[in-house]
Amino acid sequence: MAELVDECTPFVGYFAENQTTLETLTENVLRQLYESVGLIVIMHHRGTVQTPDGTLTRGSVWVEQEIAVAALMQQILKRPLHVALFIQKGIAREGIRQQLQLNPVEFVNGDEVIARLRAILPTWKSPLYVGDEEIRKRVDSADVSIRIDNGHHANVTLGIENHSEMDLTVKSMLMRSKDTKVCGPVYPPDGVKWEVPAKRWIPIRITAKENAVLAIESVNDLVHHTGYPLPRADVLVELRCELLGVERTFKENCKVQIDSPNHQMNGIT
């Protein structure tokens, strides 16, 4: 069965052999189960017990516990697994299996299991969840472009382009000029989400508490100007974003023209 996993999937099969200590149990079986992307369970007859309703044929208690751990991973930890459950004909349905919709396959001998696995395993092409380390790598690889389109008093419109394959949510914005904060942090209004889908460009209008244009003028010692060309300033925009549940800050230095008489600024591309 483990060899079949290697042959039919991009994954590596792990066969949980007998463990003799608590340390080897946690380090080998439970850790492997937690880090796995799929679980193949084969329950054989493991004896009978007498109940008020008659004789009951049981499977492995250990396997029942593994199924319970897998259910915890999927329902509570949100780490879904590919699952193939095979139950030898005659085993009673008990424990947590009574509550799970696993659609077990009944078998009589092992050849039936192998034949069925040959059909199932090629469909297991990728994990059903992305692990923490892989999520961090994806978030770190994200590329976002930021520009200031325009601003008037405390209102600023940003253009945000998400070059990555992941949707992102902007949690807050802050602007600096000459290492001095000129605006923010500004957060989305109640009931509003600043979302930028993957591979999309979205304009976001932000209303700050401060007069952002006046603050930029002041920090850059810009003289009241009525003609052209308009004076320019560098503004560093910092966006605190969330991708795949992980926070990351993106920064970009933007150039703007300041129209002092009208308290406006316009981005320069």
Better-predicted residue by pLDDT, 266 or 34: 266
CATH number at residue 254: 2.60.40.10
What is the overall mean pLDDT for the chain? 85
Last residue of a domain, one of 129, 157, 188: 129
- Are 107 and 146 in the same domain? no
114-168 pLDDT, tens digit per residue, is 999 999 999 999 888 877 777 888 899 999 999 999 999 999 999 999 999 999 9
pLDDT (0 to 100) of residue 14: 82
Residues 139 and 96 in one domain: no
Examine the domain organization and report whether 237 and 122 are in the same domain. no
User: Whole domain around residue 140: which residue ranges?
Assistant: 135-268
pTM exceeds 0.75, yes or no:
no
* Statement to judge: residues 159 and 256 lie in one domain: yes
The last residue of a domain, from among 129, 144, 160: 129
Q: Count of domains in the chain?
A: 2
pLDDT, position 225? 61
- Per the model's pLDDT, the better-predicted residue between 71 and 28 turns out to be 71
Residues 69 and 177 in one domain: no
How do residues 56-69 score in pLDDT, each as one tens digit?
A: 776 777 777 788 88
What is the per-residue pLDDT for 27? 66
Question: Do 125 and 139 reside in the same domain of the chain?
Answer: no
Domain identity same for 210 and 225? yes
Picking from 129, 164, 186, the residue at the C-terminal end of a domain is 129
Return the bridge partners of 174, or none: 238
Rounded to whole angstroms, what are the CA distances from 138 to 79, 115, 132, 169? 17, 37, 10, 15
Buried-state track 2-33, b at ≥16 Cβ within 10 A, e below 16: eebbeebbebebeeeeeeeeeeeeeeebeeeb
